[in-house]
Amino acid sequence: MAKIKIKYVKSMLDRPERQKRTMRALGFRKLNQVVEKEATPQVLGMIAKVKHMLFIEQ
């Protein structure tokens, strides 16, 4: 499975609780943090829901 690097670039303040939980589930704790995830359909769906707060590096 391919890997994706995702960077957290926009704050979770004033976001719905569901989006905050999605960001936590992706492994983000701090702004400008980078995580590497497998490109599974589940992870890609989570990224699609909060893509306005992320920068995706392929």
Residue ranges per structural domain of the chain: 3-57
Band of pLDDT at residue 58, cut at 50, 70 and 90: confident
Band of pLDDT at residue 50, cut at 50, 70 and 90: very high
The answer to whether the beta carbons of residues 32 and 2 sit under 8 Å apart is: no
Token code pair at residue 39:
């490109």
User: Buried (b) or exposed (e) across 11-26, using 16+ Cβ within 10 A?
Assistant: ebeeeeeeeeebbeeb
Does domain 3-57 fall under CATH 3.30.1390.20? My reply is yes
Q: How far apart are CA 34 and CA 5, in angstroms?
A: 7
Instruction: Provide the pLDDT for residue 1.
Output: 80
Residues 12-39 pLDDT 10s? 999 999 999 999 999 999 999 999 999 9
∠ Cα 24 26 30 (to 5°): 55
Question: Model-level pTM?
Answer: 0.91
